[in-house]
Amino acid sequence: MTIARLIVPSICILIGVVYLLMTISLPDARLGDADAPKYFPMMVAIFFIVMSIVYFIKEYLAHYDVSEDIKKVFKKDTLILIIATLVFSLIYTLIFERLGYLISTILFLGALLFLINKNKWITNILVSVLFSIGTWYVFTQLLAVSLP
Amino acid sequence: MDFQGLLEGFLTVMRPENILYVVFGGFLGTIVGMLPGLGPATAIAVLIPITFGMDPISALILMATIYYGAMYGGSLSSILINTPGDGSAVAATFDGYQMAKQGRAGQAIAITAIGSLIGGAFAVFGFILLAEPLASFALQFGPAEYFLLMLFTLSAVVSLSMGNIIKGFISMGIGLIISTVGIDLQSGVDRFTFDNVLLSDGIDFLVVIIGIYAVGEILYNYLTINNPIDQKTKYGKVWISKQDWNDSKWAMFRASPIGFLIGILPGAGGSIASLMSYTTEKQLSKNPEKFGKGAIEGLAAPETANNSAAVGAFVPLLTMGIPGSGTTAVMLGALIMLGVKPGPLLFENDPNVVWSLINALFFGNIFLFLINIFMVGVFVKVLDIPARVLLPIILILAFIGAYTMNYVIVDFYILLIFGIVGLIMKVLDFPIAPLILAVIVGSEMEQNFRKSIVASKGSMDIFFSSPIAITLVCLIVLSLAYPIYMSYRQKKRLKSQ
């Protein structure tokens, strides 16, 4: 279990080190102090790495089981819901400007509803169509927000 | 005191279209705030796009009432289904839900509305008295003092987030890292943009906020989506008896100043205000054993305090541009987006913004009191709509919100990345407020730091050069020492047991 608990602190340390290296390799400023753009990120990077190392040590020395929430996330049903939602969101991102707000949102909302509100065909279809048309009308016609 | 400003603000809010926004914002905020896990911060974040095209003052009025509405909504779901919308509604579950279980949901809803009205009204008067002197005081702040003030706010948010302080600082660090992405304003150097033009302007903090608060919260809700909700929607008349009033009136009058003062302090906010006033009442009570079992004063105190704190938090937000909590940070984000720059000069340059906002808070509070007393049945119907339908709808609103910030698809990727970050943080119990706060004040903090260093020709002495700066340094040290002291005391207590 200790190994599992050390994954997140290790990722934090990695992020901190990568950020520090990127800060060091930032181009110099042409005016004034050449290193001026680096000072603040440098401070943040060092602070972040130190905190991540402390976090790593604390997790290494700790003696507790993983939390309830972590167990819940890794339950098959929940994991499928999360991953499917993210995949649908990515597809929505890709089709949003191509198919336009209305069609892509009806499809996306419909897919999400069938994913988590299974077997309620009529509700799902009605909600996805009416909500998409309703928001499209409110944003584009009433609020003059342009949607593709 | 600026009576004329106050009057002008009153007249602005009384314009028909603005009254309509008060009503609309109150309804909308309440509905979003009632959804499990979604609090005022999420409500403001996902509803920002509806303010597009409005004039800034009307938009601000709408935002303020959404904020207030979401707080009322959070209390309703705490009382009726035992699921608080955010930290400041947690204390409402202790006695509120117990009251609902005993068939006294009507009284619980009524005392929440009465307490919120009293707390909110007290705090509005507190604001009127305190804001201007504080704004004039803040005019003495130079870049070094501002940098230290921001540092103090961040360290206070971390140390008071009542979780793991190290996780709080890591959360803050992530926020600061995000804030450094984009072209450096002073030197024109591209920083961490990976040569992507779309990142030159930096990562839009509102997209980060919507990602973490809305998308992260929706994904987190999946963890409990199959749990049946124990809903007690049966409630009688929404009003209280004379006995109820006698039991709770002093609790409300005590909680108002407690909430207001804690609201002003950076980092504390509604959660601590409500918990502290709950504990105070329990300690003062002749029957402390009643607390947690449906004591009406145990609900009245935290509900009064959190509303009072919500208005109190506007004092540092508007006078110095310093948000004290995640929710006020989102509010600051909304203000900046609307072209309003909070700070001491706001009172001189744009007094109508300040006073309209304060009037909107006052009248929004009265309006919400009325609809919560007379129309609570309409809102309770929202709780009947299953989360399975509402969560996808909120997700769509989050996407619309992210898109309308800059009209670029790349924001969808940022939204999803921060949705995942938000989920991971929630699951691993990382406090989110430090990240949000750091994303919003990070860039300003860096600018002030660099201005100070330039002014002092590279010397760090400037951070100890004025009494204000020295006081702030002491406060930073104290705020860091506080959690260490508390954990030492807790360990000692555990040992002695």
Mean pLDDT, rounded, for B7-28: 89
What pLDDT is stored for residue B415 in this prediction?
Answer: 95
Between A29, A93, A138, which is nearest B412 by CB?
Answer: A93
- Model confidence at B153: pLDDT above 60: yes
pTM here is 0.88
- For residues B380 and B422, the model is more confident at B422
What pLDDT is stored for residue B376 in this prediction?
Answer: 81
Q: What burial class does residue B130 get, using C-beta atoms within 10 Å of its C-beta: 0-12 exposed, 13-18 middle, 19+ buried?
A: middle
> A88 — contact with chain B (CB < 8 Å)?
no
pLDDT digit string (tens) for B18-29?
999 999 899 888
Reported as a pLDDT band with limits 50, 70 and 90, residue B235 is low
Contact A30 B391 (CB under 8 A): no
Reported as a pLDDT band with limits 50, 70 and 90, residue B231 is low
Distance of alpha carbon A123 from the chain centroid: 29
pLDDT digit string (tens) for B377-404?
777 777 777 778 888 998 998 999 899 8
Contact A135 B409 (CB under 8 A): no
How far is residue B472's CA from residue B463's CA, in Å, rounded to a whole number?
A: 9
Mean pLDDT, rounded, for B334-348: 86
Contact A93 B407 (CB under 8 A): no
pLDDT digit string (tens) for A3-35?
778 899 999 999 999 999 999 999 888 877 888
What pLDDT is stored for residue B229 in this prediction?
Answer: 60
- Model confidence at A95: pLDDT above 70: yes
What pLDDT is stored for residue B445 in this prediction?
Answer: 93
Residue of chain A nearest B218, judged by CA positions: A82
- Angle (CA) B363-B358-B6 rounded to 5° is 100
Q: Please, what is the average pLDDT of chain B?
A: 87
What pLDDT is stored for residue B1 in this prediction?
Answer: 63
pLDDT digit string (tens) for B262-316?
998 876 678 888 888 998 999 888 888 889 898 999 999 999 999 999 999 999 9
Residue of chain B nearest A69, judged by CA positions: B427
Between A27, A73, A138, which is nearest B223 by CB?
Answer: A73
Q: Do residues B72 and B115 lie in contact, with contact meaning Cβ atoms separated by under 8 Å?
A: no
ipTM, 2 decimals?
A: 0.94
- Model confidence at B160: pLDDT above 80: no
Q: Do residues B208 and B80 lie in contact, with contact meaning Cβ atoms separated by under 8 Å?
A: no
What pLDDT is stored for residue A28 in this prediction?
Answer: 87
Suggest the residue from A77, A82, A88 to mutate for an interface test with chain B (most B CBs closer than 10 A). Answer: A82
Written as six digits, the tokens of A131 are 């909500």
What pLDDT is stored for residue B340 in this prediction?
Answer: 86
Written as six digits, the tokens of B92 are 């409402």
Q: Is the dihedral of CA B87, B88, B89, B94 positive or negative?
A: positive
Q: Is B183 helix (H, G, I), strand (E, B) or coil?
A: strand
Q: Do residues B112 and B92 lie in contact, with contact meaning Cβ atoms separated by under 8 Å?
A: yes
